[in-house]
Amino acid sequence: MTARVLIVDDVATNVRLLEAKLQHEYYTVISATSGEEAIMRAIEENPDVILLDVMMPGLDGFETCRRLKEDPKTHHIPVVMVTALDQKSDRIRGLSVGADDFLSKPIDDTLLLARVRSLAKYKSIADELRSREAVGRRIGVIDEMQQGENGLGARVIILEDDAKRGERLKRILNEEQRALLMEESNQLGPDGHSSVELLIVSASGKTFDGLRLAAHIRSQFNTRSLPILAIVDAEDRTRSIRALEIGVNDIINRPLDEDELKLRVRTLVRRKRYIENLRLSVDATMEKAVTDQLTGLHNRRYMETQLKALLERTKRGGAPVSVIIADIDHFKRVNDLFGHDAGDEVIRQFSERLASNFRPRDLACRFGGEEFVVIMPDTSAEDAYIIAERLRVAVSGDPFHIGSNKDPLEVTVSVGVAIGNRADDDTDVVIKRADQALYAAKQRGRNRVIANVA
């Protein structure tokens, strides 16, 4: 995949060198010559990856990275710090301010490109989910998502066949996470693996091929989004590149530095939780878009979509679909006498009785106000009438208890029934027939069911 890369370096020769390498691989390149300009370009351009030099006058790479990661507009953009510094303290400092990786000059071109590809995939997923989440916020169905995930307390599984190395990994990680060796993972129980947030795998195991195992995990539906950190011998350049190519999210070289390990784990956990929170927000957007917020039933938009599909199936020779419209009798009087809060409570309680008196395959929806629609697939008009009558009795036979009112409210409902089984039936036609039956029920004294099957 291609990507847009922001190169940040105050030395023009360095920028041109990296630019040539990336453009040769068909990446789009943006450049900045200072930390201040980098922040501005990141906000304006939303690059997929930032290659950030550390040693710059004014705002250095560490402070630039910190500011990028603290800004909600740019915190999701992966940052790779590129520098001639190769001290442990510099690498730890870079990871501590939020960098996703830390590469030393002279840069290994193949490893750099593998890193860029890996991080660009993450950014692509994040961008898609952020876009959908923004739509939900814009239309007001979800709230602003909270940031600030610390990446601690995650369930981590360690795949290491050297017992001493495995125990050391577990000891280090348990200072911040909840780590288990692979042979201990049965402690999670039958559904516990869904709570795992990171897998650490030794790429140089003697009894198993760590990269083959990582590739298998990445290919499975249930684990394809599980972050994987591979441990690779420092001199094994080929295996490091291969790990990134098959979908490992990050690599750390052996011999391990404890602080670096903890920081890389924290970063991967933060990324995973960020993506999961975005997905939950998107799911909430979809749910709220088709759900009535007062009752929890589906809304009119969803009902019309489903009824249309069922009627199309009927036209192709499928079973008929019945529809009922139920309207709470004298509902305005409830609002006038007891207030709108009491009216809302009547609607909520009515919705519960509605949902409990129909079959799991039936679709109960709030049509609007005090009016409700139930779609009943594969149901004759006679059966629909019986089910509607059961609802009427359930409503009228048990008074509604509203708030602190000592006297229960007597509530009744009128119901119209129609069936869709004709070649020219569409959503509007069938709903109109049910509505005509409902009107007839109202005209004949309310608290009754009328079927319109002519």
Distance of CA 263 to the CA centre of its chain: 25
Report the mean per-residue pLDDT for the chain: 90
Residue 253, pLDDT > 90, answer: yes
Over range 170-189, report the average pLDDT: 86
Helix (H, G, I), strand (E, B) or coil at 299: coil
Helix (H, G, I), strand (E, B) or coil at 26: coil
The answer to whether 320 and 378 have CB atoms below 8 angstroms apart is yes
Helix (H, G, I), strand (E, B) or coil at 353: helix
Give the pLDDT band (50/70/90) at residue 150: confident
- Eight-state DSSP code of residue 400: B
Which pLDDT score, from 0 to 100, does residue 338 have? Answer: 87
Burial 40-79 (b: 16+ CB within 10 A, else e): ebbeeebbbbbbbbbebeebbbbebbbbbbeeeebbbbbb
pLDDT digits (tens, 9 = 90+) for 404-426: 766 789 999 999 999 998 888 89
List all residues 6 or more positions away from 371 whose beta carbon is below 8 Å from its beta carbon.
325, 326, 327, 328
- Whole-model pTM? 0.75
Residue 146, pLDDT > 60, answer: no
Residue 189, pLDDT > 80, answer: no
Give the highest mean pLDDT range of 29-33, 220-224, 283-287, 338-342. 29-33
Which pLDDT score, from 0 to 100, does residue 191 have? Answer: 52
Determine the Cα–Cα distance for residues 206 and 236; give it in Å rounded to an integer: 15
pLDDT digits (tens, 9 = 90+) for 320-345: 999 999 999 999 999 998 889 999 99
Report the 10 Å Cβ neighbour count for 255: 6
Q: Which two tokens stand for residue 85?
A: 């510094």
pLDDT digits (tens, 9 = 90+) for 45-84: 999 999 999 999 999 999 999 999 999 999 999 999 998 8
Which pLDDT score, from 0 to 100, does residue 33 have? Answer: 96
Residue 141, pLDDT > 60, answer: no
Determine the Cα–Cα distance for residues 242 and 42; give it in Å rounded to an integer: 30
Residue 272, pLDDT > 70, answer: yes
List all residues 6 or more positions away from 40 whose beta carbon is below 8 Å from its beta carbon.
32
Number of alpha carbons in the 13 Å side-chain half-sphere of residue 331: 21
The answer to whether 264 and 252 have CB atoms below 8 angstroms apart is yes
Over range 134-153, report the average pLDDT: 67
Domains of the chain: 1-142 (3.40.50.2300), 145-285 (3.40.50.2300), 300-452 (3.30.70.270)
Catalytic residue, from 370, 371, 389, 410: name it: 370
Active site residue 370: yes
Over range 274-290, report the average pLDDT: 83
Which pLDDT score, from 0 to 100, does residue 396 have? Answer: 94
pLDDT digits (tens, 9 = 90+) for 4-26: 999 999 999 999 999 999 999 99
Determine the Cα–Cα distance for residues 287 and 290; give it in Å rounded to an integer: 6
Determine the Cα–Cα distance for residues 155 and 176; give it in Å rounded to an integer: 10
Query: Which residues partner with 75 through β-bridges?
Result: none
DSSP assignment of 48-101, as one string?
Answer: SEEEEES--SSS-HHHHHHHHHHSTTTTTS-EEEEES---HHHHHHHHHTT-SE
The answer to whether 430 and 311 have CB atoms below 8 angstroms apart is yes
Give percent of the chain with pLDDT exceeding 70: 94
Strand order in the sheet with 101-104: 28-32, 4-8, 49-53, 79-83, 101-104
Report the 10 Å Cβ neighbour count for 223: 15
